[in-house]
Structure 1
Amino acid sequence: MTCPLAQRDGLEARIVTSAVFFAVGTGLILHVRRALLRELRQIRKVAGAAQSVLLRPLPPRIDGLNIAAAQLSADHGANIGGDLYEVIATEHGVRVVMGDVRGHGLGAIGTAAAVLGSFREAVHDEPELACVLRRLERALARHLRERARAEHPSAGPDPDSPVAEEFVTVLLLEIRRDGEVYALNCGHPSPYRLGTGRVEPLTGAEPLPPLGPFPLPAELAATRCGRLLPGESLFLHTDGVEDARDPQGRFFPLPATLAEVVRTQPVSPQTVLRSVFTRLLRHTGGRPADDVAVLILRNDRSRVPTQQGCTVARHLG
């Protein structure tokens, strides 16, 4: 406002004044843009670090099992979402978790971290798979209580709070040295067993409710799902896979896709993963509407030990 040119009425002075203001404004916009880009890069760097801790890369082999896994967030440019998975070898067998947190954003990430942290500790401590699930249930309830207090410190335990409506679908598997598979399913999509030219759901008991809304039943036992023979694979996924739609609203044909992949010969988990993701992205036009996670485990053990005796169902009161 103190510029002498700004106080003149001539056309030339007005043009020069407008150019000055335009240059200053453009400089400010570019400065803000550069600052926002730096902040975005920093956020993505932090998100990448969180991704490596939350969904740390799985080794290609664990106790004779060949493994491949990947996660795809529905949010463009995001690295992590509400899906979770982990595979850990223990003295009780290889234990696996696949889960899906309701919702997206930081809240879902915190909930996934609470469940995964509890799983990573409990699988080594608990001889019963049912006890592992109860540990997950307690960890989730504790996390949601703490989050509700942090978000609404003056409201107290409000049953109508959005946090009170959160839940997690969870699938727990235990693959023993003889290939026997035991499972506990809390509202999660059932996995598929893959063999040469064969795709079938992993059968078991009726699934339990998702963790969060309802307590687990007093009587809880892992379900025996048969034996995973050498060369066979288990395909685990979140509901974002089968719920994915194309522009015409048609669901992604997961069983048919898997059947096509394994039609002629046993294939590696990496090949199955790559084929499913390629077809899924083609089906959705590159934009899935929900987070997607896939985990594949193939039994590459050379020999399955002879089973001794019969399997006894284990209960927890």
Structure 2
Amino acid sequence: MIRSWARRSAGRPRAARARRAFVLVLPGLWVLGVLVWERCTPAEGQFLQLLAAAPAIACAGTGRRQCVVLGGLCALLALLPLGTGSSGAHPLARVGTCCAVLVVVAASYLTAGRRLRLLRELERTKEVATAAQRVLLRPPPARVDGIVVAADHLAAGETATVGGDLYDVVATRHGVRAVIGDVRGHGLGALGTVAAVLGSFREAVHDEPDLGRVLRRLERALHRHLRERARAEHPSAGGGEPENPLSEEFVTLLLVEIARDGAVRTLNCGHPWPYRLTRSGALPDAPGEPMPPLGLFPLPAELPVTDCPPLLPGQAFFLHTDGATDARDADGTFFPLPQALDESVRSVRDCRAAAVVEGVRAALLRHCGGRLSDDVALLVLCNDRLRVPAGADPAALARGRVRAGRAE
């Protein structure tokens, strides 16, 4: 299956080149077709007016001003008596056709220039959006305090690179802390909320020893952002407190803390629970009922921090947003995430987290045909710490690990 997908992917550039070549020669083919039609039909120049469409076809097909001029030149040359089969055509018809060709060339030339300017502005906008996405969703390091990390993000739009999903992994004195979330909506409108939540998380994880206090910091940051956004969108409020500041905005959120001994604590606000990846496959890790999404209701006085089974060396957590499970194929079938995880886990060994993410990504795009209905974020946290036996010599363990790394 993967090989066939690779063959199809390799064939796409050839098909794209063939389409571009066809579009380039299409104005010439149009002129040639009009000449053949004029020669085979005793219409005495009645079809010469169709030559004026050649520059417009070049403009619509390639958008290049050089192609527009070349298409107009081909149409004008076709008006020569030697180039047409209707020598009995009225001279006024030729003059009118020549004027029509020149007018279409001028209009198409201006249209192509405007299109070029719009494309340049679009490219600059995409560059800014990509830069903003990279600042917000910074590529996580490959290893964080003994935890192997791999992540990927897929935007819902065909040409979009930004979305409403968020994730981050930070090493603190309290352990490795990770967050993954999904802001309501996607695209540029969700970037502000993503920035507010991630900015607060990156500060709170270092300051707060308790995971529940981290979540309360995120809630305050989200409410503050929504109030400021409501004031900006409703200036008639005069700077006062809005009555209902974007009450439909919310964020599903999952906080994970992995201690040095592998102990795992989580807080879930309406987010899908992670999967635990072992050598035998993927198992859902759902220790309890999640709280409502962040922003819909105030957090309870007592936060249900969940103590999960320890993450043993060689085991991993697979975190994802609901865009992965909501993806459908052409028949409306949902993406079988557990099956894709099992196949990815069994095809790799050790803590190759990046291979697991790549396998799930390929299976997801293959399932939905590359058309996503929602943003998707994938995050793998693999415990690559050594299990240290009691009374072991740390120096000997270090030397053994170096030898193992060289052998690999």
Normalising by structure 2, what TM-score?
0.69
- The separation in 2 between residues aligned to 1:284 and 1:193, in whole angstroms, is 25
Q: Alpha carbons of 1:208 and 1:21: their partners in 2 closer, same or farther (altered >3 Å)? A: same
- The separation in 1 between residues aligned to 2:102 and 2:223, in whole angstroms, is 60
2:66 is matched with which residue? none
Would you say 1:299 and 2:383 are equivalent positions?
yes
In the TM superposition, residue 26 of structure 1 has moved relative to its aligned partner by: 1.3
1:159-170 correspondence to structure 2 within 5 Å? 159=244, 163-170=246-253
1:210-249 correspondence to structure 2 within 5 Å? 210-249=293-332
Q: Equivalent pairs: percent with the same residue?
A: 59
Q: Which residue among 155, 159, 177 is the counterpart of 2:260? A: 177
1:6 is matched with which residue? none
Q: How many pairs align?
A: 296
Moved more, 39-48 or 296-305: 296-305
1:280 is matched with which residue? 364
Amino acid at match of 1:43: T
In the TM superposition, residue 20 of structure 1 has moved relative to its aligned partner by: 3.2
**Helix, strand or coil for the counterpart of 2:236?**
coil
Normalising by structure 1, what TM-score?
0.89
**Helix, strand or coil for the counterpart of 1:262?**
helix
1:111-150 correspondence to structure 2 within 5 Å? 111-150=193-232
- The separation in 1 between residues aligned to 2:372 and 2:130, in whole angstroms, is 20
**Structure with greater Cα Rg:** 2
1:78 is matched with which residue? 160
1:44-123 correspondence to structure 2 within 5 Å? 44-123=126-205
Are the equivalent residues in 2 in contact too, given 1:244–1:284 (CA < 8 A)? yes
Which structure 2 segments of 5+ residues have no match? 1-91, 391-408
Are the equivalent residues in 2 in contact too, given 1:177–1:305 (CA < 8 A)? no
Deviations 1:285-305 (A, max 9, x none): 111211111000110001268
Amino acid at match of 2:385: R
2:62 is matched with which residue? none
- Cα RMSD of the aligned pairs, angstroms, is 1.9
Deviations 1:22-45 (A, max 9, x none): 222111101101101100110111
Are the equivalent residues in 2 in contact too, given 1:73–1:79 (CA < 8 A)? yes
In the TM superposition, residue 15 of structure 1 has moved relative to its aligned partner by: 3.7
Counting helix residues as a fraction of each chain, which structure ranks higher? 2
Q: Which residue among 217, 242, 245 is the counterpart of 1:157? A: 242
Counting strand residues as a fraction of each chain, which structure ranks higher? 1
Are the equivalent residues in 1 in contact too, given 2:148–2:351 (CA < 8 A)? no
Q: Alpha carbons of 1:77 and 1:298: their partners in 2 closer, same or farther (altered >3 Å)? A: same
- The separation in 2 between residues aligned to 1:214 and 1:305, in whole angstroms, is 47
In the TM superposition, residue 267 of structure 1 has moved relative to its aligned partner by: 5.2
Would you say 1:32 and 2:114 are equivalent positions?
yes
